[in-house]
Structure 1
Amino acid sequence: MTSDETSQGRAARLRRRWDREAGGYDRAFAAAERRMFPDVRHRLCARAEGRTLEVAVGTGLNLEHYPRAVTAGAPGGLVGVEWSPGMLDVARRRAARLGLDRDVDLRLGDAQALDLPDDAFDTVVCTFSLCAIADHRRALAEMTRVLRPGGRLLLADHVASSVWPLRALQALADLVSVPLAGEHFGRRPLRWVTEQGLAVEEHERTRAGVIEQVVARLPAGAPVRG
């Protein structure tokens, strides 16, 4: 079996796992969210402006936090891409409950290979998802590619702690969580954001440095990074 076949098989297994967990994901995640980052979604998504893309939209937990100017913009003003059909189904039902089903475009897609044109969005959002994307550097390169010069990238995730004993525990957790569920606890996407040529405007770490928020802008006239 080739490495590509092995990678494809692992991706298919992980997608089936997310599909199975989609129905109970919100309940399982709620307690951790209330304790660790109760207001992060609202604070970050409120910064979205213009045509907005959310990468790895999941079950649509961010939908209610976007400004109405974003969700009620031109058709496709808010586009959400999700890898798991099961998670996407939940997001679409949430959009319908919120009365947003006609305003947002929720579609299947891979964060590592976005089927979207260059320079298409004023804002790109990704929350608590880079930790579970196999090649997060490639995903960040794609987010930069579709971002218009002058546009902003809004990120939030759990990352490697700034406290070394906790960081050591995260490294141990990775030994189990990465092969089993594709979940990484020791990543620091900020370094790859700056490598993509974006200028960090705001950066905040909380909860022993485990929760990180980044607001970065693609400079006007910046070359597209691939």
Structure 2
Amino acid sequence: MDHPDQDARTRAIWARTAPRYDTWMRRFDRWMLCDGRRWLCSQARGRVLEVALGTGLTLPHYPEDADLTGVDLSPDMLARARRRADDLGIGITLAEASATRLPFPDGHFDTVVCVLALCCIPDDRAAVAEMHRVLAPGGTLLLVDHVISHRFAVRLLQRALDPLMVTLADDHQLRRPFHLVREAGFTVRHRDRYSLGIIERLAAVKPAA
């Protein structure tokens, strides 16, 4: 099912954000995400799909032999990802596509990666289901995102900020991807939280048929 109005809103948000995104993310990475990108990408193997690639900040962290594909709904973000890949000499297939409607057959990838994106995808449950669909049996899902904290004071602040952030940027502060990953049929192999419980990273496996 297509969602043209929501897709247009998402593209407009990221068209405004794209010129400043790398500057913001470098600060966020330094203070909050820390080694999250490197931790995820170092585990990627075989045919790798990154969902919501953005400007390609993960690209330097992938193994040299990874067969990379990246999708993003925003052409502005993808254009920056292409320039980054070219500058780094990294081969990657890029496609403009929604995370909830991935243009790939079932079981096509060995690894799916998603970094700080489920928080901004309106239908995060559908996105996780699509990641499950395109992974081969035995394939690995690697996620890192900001989530609702387990610390009471931090959680109160997130609840206060959530309406504003959703209105301005579709950036949800109260998501719990761990539960969606399990509901989709994955077996979670690793889960940890850090940065006051705001950052969560997961490694999960699609069980063999």
**Same topology, TM > 0.5:** yes
Runs of at least 5 residues in structure 1 that lack an aligned partner in the other structure: 71-76, 222-226
SS at match of 2:65: helix
Question: 1:23 Cα deviation (Å)?
Answer: 1.8
For 1:48-75, what per-residue CA distance to the aligned partner results, in whole angstroms no more than 9, with x for missing partners?
A: 00100000000000011000010xxxxx
2:9 to 3, 6, 13: 13
- CA deviation string 1:77-122 (max 9, x = no partner): 210001100000000000000001xx21011110011111000000
- Aligned amino acid, residue 77 of structure 2: M
1:193 corresponding residue in structure 2: 181
Contact 1:18–1:84 under 8 Å retained in 2: yes
Are positions 1:59 and 2:47 aligned together?
A: no
Q: Which runs of 4+ in 1 moved over 6 A?
A: none
Equivalence for 2:30: 34
SS of 1:68 mapped into structure 2: coil
Helix, strand or coil at the partner of 1:69: coil
SS at match of 1:201: strand
Cα displacement (A) at 1:212: 0.3
SS at 1:215's partner residue?
strand
Q: Deviations over 1:127-169 (max 9, x none)?
A: 1000000100000000000000000000000000010121121
Please show how residues 108-119 of structure 1 align to structure 2 within 5 Å.
Answer: 108-119=96-107
Alignment partner of 1:89 is 2:79: yes
CA contact (8 A) 1:23 1:90 kept: no
Shift of 1:180: 2.1
Aligned residue in 2 for 1:50: 46
Q: Does 1:174 align with 2:159?
A: no
Of 126, 134, 137, 2:125 maps to: 137
Aligned-pair Cα RMSD in Å: 1.4
Report the identity percentage. 47
Alignment coverage as a number of residue pairs: 209
Within the candidate set 184, 189, 205, 2:193 is matched to 205
Q: TM-score, normalised by structure 1?
A: 0.89
Answer whether contact 1:202 1:215 (CA < 8 A) is retained.
Answer: yes
Is the CA contact 2:56–2:85 (under 8 Å) kept in the aligned structure 1? Answer: yes
Give TM-score scaled by structure 2 length: 0.96
Instruction: Verify: 1:24 aligned to 2:20, yes or no.
Output: yes
Return the letter of the residue paired with 1:89: A
